[in-house]
Amino acid sequence: MARYDRAITVFSPDGHLFQVEYALEAVRKGNAAVGVRGSDTVVLGVEKKSTPKLQDSRTVRKIVSLDTHIALACAGLKADARVLINRARIECQSHRLTVEDPVTVEYITRYIAGLQQKYTQSGGVRPFGLSTLIVGFDPHSEKPALYQTDPSGTFSAWKANATGRNSNSMREFLEKNYKETSGKETIKLAIRALLEVVESGGKNIEIAVMTHKDGLRQLEEAEIDEYVAEIEAEKAAAEAAKKGGGASTSASS
Amino acid sequence: MLLLLFRLSFLSFFPSLSLSQHFAPTGTKPHQRISVSLNFKQRKQREEKRRMMMKLDTSGLESFSAAVPSAMAAAEDQLFAPPSFDLPAGCADFDKFQMEAKQTLKHAKGTTTLAFIFNQGVIVAADSRASMGGYISSQSVKKIIEINPYMLGTMAGGAADCQFWHRNLGIKCRLHELANKRRISVTGASKLLANILYSYRGMGLSIGTMIAGWDEKGPGLYYVDSEGGRLKGNRFSVGSGSPYAYGVLDNGYRPDMTVDEAHELARRAIYHATFRDGASGGVVSVYHVGPNGWKKLSGDDVSELHYKYYPVQPTPVEHEMVDAPPA
């Protein structure tokens, strides 16, 4: 019987953990995911690849809830995600049982990140190939939170972040256009970021909104289409304004 | 073969008893019959000596292993080399032992502690007497344990158990703070303690404690005991003097008391319990837990309180005693 206690993730001579870096590659090939934090709302958006005709799309949920006040979206290997999400859900309930208080977003993020790190330092296992975006509200608090973890097990809080395919361009867009928003504006910002890299249309995007009062709400396709239409209109108006201004300056010179 | 088997079973149950009881008693010295705790080396030496003697005196009753090549003897010694200790006192009749152990602990819940929530926070009070049966072993025991600057625990039952587990709880609360960057709630702390005590259920811990504190949700009070029970409440009193304390406390309690009124009520309740209950006495300590943490309000000797509440009244004497006239 082969011995499964030898580490798979070992250091390279120049200090890299190649397995972890390869896992990050796997994440970069996963579908795009974006998270934006507002003052009273937090939004998760995920790229939805075209569903095959015979597939029941309801069973392919990309944005899941870990507890009534915490939600998660991820990019990378979906099977790994399932395992991680199950463990996180158990931990949420276990925390409720031992401390009689729901988890804070930071606690569950720390737990997931700790789990991801454990698998980079154990024998016979490979790292999880996914990065997660975790959003939620701390119990007894109305402030939303957004955290990101990655296969190496690091985590940090963000105002807005993206992972998965073309995450760099999404992040650049967010850095340029982020401002403290609330309610619908937050949703629009998330959709705009996603539209940078995804084909426009309600059937290619999945959006979920979390508020302190109403918890997690997945937006319907029709709603998303509405937002997309609004955004396109705004974009067109902005273009027109630019063109108009440009034309006048060129005319005057 | 039969002899060997008998020795097998014999040795496994009574490792330290002298082997001479089994083999020829006649040639052995008296002291070898006493069962003593010897270490393995000493036992081996004794066995060697005995074997030597037996070879001289009792060849017919020699042990089978001595006649057999030494490999067998060595193996047997390795197999049957338990640590040498006498069996503990209670092993013969374990149920009786358990009952006796519980009885010896029962007196230790001689105490009176109380705590209650009111609009201005939580008041925690306790006496300070420790008794062992009829003997008062101390009049100055600290029965209110400071878990951390905003949480208190009371001690009733086994003093060592209470002190250790409260300190342990303090450690866990601090670790929680460090890990989660915020204080643990009274609910969480009491639940941690209750879960620990539940896992030790039936093993003889004796703890009847109240966890009082102030957290984000306001004042909190929980009763936790060594059976694993945990109750949330507004008023608790624990200990042998608790019935007396409850009488005074329940009578005088109002949720809208001031801190001074609540202080006085707690002090009175403990005093009355110490008056009637022999296992409570010493000094009444009263603490107040407010939004900024706990503060010790007072520590009054119970006998002084007695004369404060019931000052000596001059009473008319019925018959005056006069000196007998000198004969």
- Give A43's contacts (C-beta < 8 A, 6+ positions apart): A35, A36, A135, A186, A187, A189, A190, A207, A208, A209, A210
CA distance B83 to B6: 20
Neighbours of B90 (CB within 10 A): 13
SS3 B320: coil
Determine whether the interchain pair B185/A106 forms a contact, defined as Cβ–Cβ distance below 8 Å: no
Answer whether A106 touches B (CB < 8 Å): yes
**Which residues on chain A are in Cβ contact (under 8 Å) with B181?**
106
Determine the distance in angstroms separating the CA of A201 from the nearest CA of chain B, rounded to an integer. 41
CA distance B57 to B279: 65
Mean pLDDT across chain B: 80
Q: What tokens appear for B266 in the block?
A: 């707690």
**Residues A109, A149 contacting (CB under 8 angstroms):** yes
Q: Which of B176, B183, B185 to mutate against chain A (most A CBs within 10 Å)?
A: B185
Residue B312 is classified by DSSP as P
Nearest by CB: A101 against B181, B185, B195: B185
pLDDT exceeds cutoff 70 at B15: no
pLDDT exceeds cutoff 50 at B319: yes
Q: For strand A41-47 and strand A63-67, is the pairing parallel, antiparallel, or unpaired?
A: unpaired
Give the model's pLDDT for residue B58.
52
Which tens digit of pLDDT belongs to each residue from B84-110? 777 776 677 777 777 776 666 554 568
Give the model's pLDDT for residue B23.
41
Supply the DSSP string of B225-271, one letter for each residue. ETTS-EEE-SEEEESTTHHHHHHHHHHH--TT--HHHHHHHHHHHHH
pLDDT exceeds cutoff 90 at B228: no
Give the model's pLDDT for residue A212.
92
Give the model's pLDDT for residue B4.
42
Mean pLDDT calculated for residue range B108-133: 89
* Cα B27–chain centre separation: 50
Give the model's pLDDT for residue B66.
53
> Among B54, B68, B66, which Cα is nearest to B23's?
B54
Q: Which of the pair, B36 or A19, is modelled with greater confidence? A: A19
Catalytic, B58? Answer no
CA distance B72 to B45: 18
Give the model's pLDDT for residue B24.
41
Mean pLDDT calculated for residue range B102-123: 81
**Residue B190 burial (10 A CB sphere; 0-12, 13-18, 19+):** buried
- pLDDT tens per residue across all 253 residues of chain A: 455 566 778 898 999 899 999 999 999 999 999 999 999 999 999 998 877 888 887 777 889 999 999 999 999 999 999 999 999 999 999 999 988 889 999 999 999 999 999 999 888 889 999 999 999 999 888 899 999 999 999 999 999 999 999 999 999 999 999 999 888 999 999 999 999 888 877 778 899 999 999 999 999 888 899 999 999 899 899 999 988 875 555 555 4
B291-306 exposure pattern, b = at least 16 Cβ within 10 A, e = fewer = eeebeebebbebeebe
